[in-house]
Amino acid sequence: MNNRRTLLSTVALLLACNIYGSGAWAQDRYPSRPIKFVVPYAAGGLPDTVARIFAQRLGDRLGQSVVVDNKPGANGVVAAQTLASSPKDGYTFLVTDGSMFSINPAIYKKLGYSYKEDFLPVSLAARGPLYLAVNPKVPANTFQEFVALAKSKPGGLNYGSSGVGSTHHLTMEALKAALHIELTHIPFKGTGQSVPALVGGEIDVLFSALPSLSGFVKSGQVKLLAVNSAKRTVQEPNTPAISETIPNFDFAPIVGILAYRGTPASAINRIASEMAQVAKMPELVSTLSNAGIEAIGAGPADYNKAVLSENARLAKAIATAGIKAE
């Protein structure tokens, strides 16, 4: 009987060692299969661009491919549901801009997802500032001249945006409120419509990303007056930041990586660590810079602070614009 008990105990011990040993081995091997980046927008936008540029280099470092999966629709709900229904094993992440957590909750009463309740910050990947641009016919060559002009003819200038509630719209509303100027809003369906309207003289001014404007700037069809980030950019160092006139003015869209709640901390820490290294790669920095994007690679804590700060600023801008939740 004693021999039998000893044998059973030995077998149990071996099984336990095998189980825990396998778990540790599997953890050490993370990732052991491809990782998915879910993007809540169609291909071509800021989050998609950032996701694809980072995915290739991140995959090289991890030894596994990182696949970008576009899941547009329902103001981010489709993407959120994709993460919610996926195993919480560190192989599925969300790559999005801040509007999914700052603008959408303020505009739509029922979204079906929550930043604080459903997601965990992983990495603040990049920032894509927007530039204040005017048509050449507007008699202003500096930001100060533009402000003076707007004040001299309240409501006499109009501005375009990518739609009501877009970052382009809210940045201008925040600017108007801070400087006490009046501009007439003309919303469009994306920069594919608003930028041509600016070039054609249908509107006087707008905020847009640099890639949409740079060609027209070089040809003299558009003038850049300021940028909406906290400081001047490497791409346009001679273009002043609005924060130089309005302290703490910062509405540059941020793009980050998030995991669904329940994802192992070890997986989050690994991806955050690798993203920080990828963001320093000269080739990646150059590629993003050419697209008017700044590589950051900050970790979970810094990303969380950035999201909460952006949420507070945009909530104030939304209230100023008088936008009500639907």
Asked if the structure places residue 176 within a domain, the reply is yes
| pLDDT at res. 20 | 39
Asked if the structure places residue 23 within a domain, the reply is no
Looking at the structure, do residues 143 and 90 belong to the same domain, yes or no?
Answer: no
> Any idea what the CATH number is for the domain that residue 262 is in?
3.40.190.150
Q: How confident is the model over 201-248, as pLDDT tens digits?
A: 999 999 999 999 999 999 999 999 999 999 999 999 999 999 999 999
Asked if the structure places residue 300 within a domain, the reply is yes
| pLDDT at res. 28 | 60
- Residue 318, amino acid: I
Segment-wise mean pLDDT, segments of 10 residues, the chain, 326 residues: 47 43 53 97 93 97 97 93 97 96 88 95 97 98 98 96 93 96 95 95 96 95 97 96 97 97 98 98 96 96 96 92 82
Looking at the structure, do residues 123 and 265 belong to the same domain, yes or no?
Answer: yes
pTM: 0.86
| pLDDT at res. 29 | 87
Looking at the structure, do residues 238 and 259 belong to the same domain, yes or no?
Answer: no
Structural domain containing residue 219? 130-244
> Any idea what the CATH number is for the domain that residue 177 is in?
3.40.190.10
Looking at the structure, do residues 141 and 237 belong to the same domain, yes or no?
Answer: yes
| pLDDT at res. 75 | 86
> What does the angle CA 82 – CA 192 – CA 196 come to, to the nearest 5 degrees?
170
Looking at the structure, do residues 114 and 51 belong to the same domain, yes or no?
Answer: yes
Looking at the structure, do residues 39 and 119 belong to the same domain, yes or no?
Answer: yes
Contact in structure between 310 and 254 (CB atoms under 8 Å): yes
Q: Is the dihedral of CA 300, 306, 310, 313 positive or negative?
A: positive
Looking at the structure, do residues 79 and 214 belong to the same domain, yes or no?
Answer: no
Place of tokens 């997986």: 267
Question: How far is it, in rounded angstroms, from Cα 208 to Cα 227?
Answer: 9
| pLDDT at res. 107 | 86
| pLDDT at res. 111 | 87
Looking at the structure, do residues 157 and 210 belong to the same domain, yes or no?
Answer: yes
> What does the angle CA 169 – CA 101 – CA 318 come to, to the nearest 5 degrees?
35
